[in-house]
Amino acid sequence: MAFNEIELMHIKRTVGKLCERRPPPRFRNELRTIYEIQGHDVTVYDERPRRLHWMRRDLKWHSYRNTPDVTTLEPLVDEVINDPLGAFWG
């Protein structure tokens, strides 16, 4: 059974307050705390931007600089498929 409107307002007020306070402001461009409501569950988790890395000839992982940090996988997968710099498929 899903939450009623009063319960949803209470969740937004209490859990939302937690998410607004975390993380400290200086880290918010690298990490944010968010929550989701599905049915009768409230899930709180930290979200970090996704970055793409590739292994160079020196066998070390390097940040792939052709894409910005993103929150979804699609742009990163597209970059690997298209491989405009020849980093992934030669």
Model confidence at 63: pLDDT above 90:
no
Neighbour tally for 7: CB within 10 Å = 13
Tens of pLDDT, residue by residue over 8-52, are 999 999 999 999 888 888 888 888 899 999 999 999 999 887 888
Whole-angstrom distance, CA of residue 23 vs CA of residue 43: 17
Whole-angstrom distance, CA of residue 39 vs CA of residue 8: 11
**0.75 cut: is pTM over it?**
no
The whole-number average pLDDT for the span 64-82 is: 85
Model confidence at 7: pLDDT above 90:
yes
> In the predicted model, what is the mean pLDDT of the chain?
88
Give the start-to-end residue ranges of the domains of the chain. 5-47, 53-82
